[in-house]
Amino acid sequence: MSMWLWIVIGAHLLNALSFVVNKFILGHIKVQPAGYAGLIGWASIFATVLMPWGFAPLSFVNAIIALVTGAVFIWALYFFFSALQRNEVSTIVPVIGGAIPAITLVLAAVLIHERLPKMDYVAFAVLLVGTLFMLWNTGKGKNRAVSNASLAIALGAAVLFALSSVGMKYIFNQTEFINGFIWTRWGSVLGAAVFLISPAQTRYMKDAFRILFSRSGLLFGLGESIGAGGFIVLTYTMSLASPTLINALQGVQYALLLMVAIIGWMVKPDMLGESFTKREILLKIFGIILIGGGVWMIAIV
């Protein structure tokens, strides 16, 4: 199995844990999406400490692309947290994750002229179908259905995440990883700065900073740290492999996400606001089997 594949799987597992912590924070600590995304954006300034180990100027066009790519990632997080606040984590995350690979496939082909081996396209299809099975809900609880508004927000997040992935791949094709990482993180700071245009969003960011240094700050910081770790590792893999396949492998994180959500539901049903039917669990298990098959196909190429 290629080393990048192991790295991607590890990153997606970290993201799955981060999603669960994020859902708990949004539901119990009451951090607003703009505050959460803004805090992540401002924290990106710490990438500046890497300058002695690989910073270099970019051309004007590449610098703009790098900054926009970083800003788009923060706006994608804002849409993602907004959708996550409205719906169950095991419902909304697969909606976004199912759309991202398909959108990335199109954008990567159009914007960076990416072409994959035939077997990788087959693996991509298997991973996508498996992800859709993970998405399939049959429950009738008040939060199970995804409203049109939530669906629009989720798809908006998917488009922005896909754009960010393709943008990062483009930048990493033009420069070294550390340099590309620094430039895109500066873009994330600018993306967070956009929130300052709105007084309400500014207030939400101030509230998030206050919570970070409150008694709830430990859990808040844990969610931030896990998410940051997953993001950094996943960003590194963008410099090694296809963003289309990397995003398609998100199904791996849903397997862990499902297990964590089910365990949480069994221990304390209202902890994450999750509920499951036997049919749902069977469908999701089938999805996990398909995802495993897709990972195997990529591994043998």
Tens of pLDDT, residues 17-32: 777 776 676 666 677 8
Per DSSP, the residues of 190-206 read HHHHGGGGSHHHHHHHH
Instruction: Pull the structure tokens for residue 221.
Output: 């910081």
Q: Which residues contact 191 (CB under 8 A, 6 or more apart)?
A: 41, 70, 71, 72, 73, 74, 75
Neighbour tally for 177: CB within 10 Å: 16
- d(CA 244, CA 7) in angstroms, rounded, equals 15
Q: Rounded mean pLDDT of 275-280? A: 69
pLDDT band at 266 (very low <50, low <70, confident <90, very high): low
Instruction: Pull the structure tokens for residue 171.
Output: 């930048």
pLDDT per residue as tens digits for the range 30-59: 778 898 899 889 999 999 999 999 999 999
Contact 181, 47 (CB under 8 A): yes
Q: Which residues contact 15 (CB under 8 A, 6 or more apart)?
A: 227, 230, 231, 234, 250, 253
pLDDT band at 143 (very low <50, low <70, confident <90, very high): very low
**Position 272 pLDDT exceeds 70:** no
pLDDT band at 68 (very low <50, low <70, confident <90, very high): very high
One-letter amino acid of 127: L
Q: Rounded mean pLDDT of 91-117? A: 84
Average predicted confidence (pLDDT) for the chain: 82
User: Domain limits at 222?
Assistant: 3-300
Neighbour tally for 5: CB within 10 Å: 20
Higher pLDDT, 3 or 47: 47
Higher pLDDT, 5 or 48: 48
pLDDT of residue 262: 67
Alpha-carbon separation of residue 138 from 143, 192, 261 (angstroms):
12, 37, 16
Q: Which residues contact 48 (CB under 8 A, 6 or more apart)?
A: 182, 185, 186
The total of structural domains in the chain comes to 1
**Position 138 pLDDT exceeds 60:** no
Higher pLDDT, 268 or 192: 192
Q: Rounded mean pLDDT of 245-259? A: 76
